Amino acid sequence: MIKVNQLPKDLKKSLDLMNFEIIKIISPKNRYPVIIMRDKRKDAKDHWCVQHQGSGYYFRTLKEVKDYCKTRNWVKTF
Mean pLDDT score, 18-39: 86
Please determine, for residue 23, whether its predicted confidence score (pLDDT) is greater than 80: yes
Whole-model pTM? 0.82
Q: How far is CA 35 from the centre of its chain?
A: 3
Residue 77 lies inside a defined structural domain of this protein: no
Contact 23, 34 (CB under 8 A): no
Q: Which residue did the predictor score with more confidence, 1 or 20?
A: 20
Contact 46, 37 (CB under 8 A): no
Domain count of the fold of the chain: 1
Residue 76 lies inside a defined structural domain of this protein: no
Residue 12 lies inside a defined structural domain of this protein: yes
Q: Which residue did the predictor score with more confidence, 22 or 32?
A: 22
14 Cβ contact list (under 8 Å, min separation 6): 51, 54
Output the average pLDDT for the chain: 86
The DSSP call for residue 6 is G
Residue 62 lies inside a defined structural domain of this protein: yes
Instruction: Provide the residue range defining the domain that includes 29.
Output: 4-68
pLDDT at 19: 94
46 Cβ contact list (under 8 Å, min separation 6): 39, 58, 59, 60
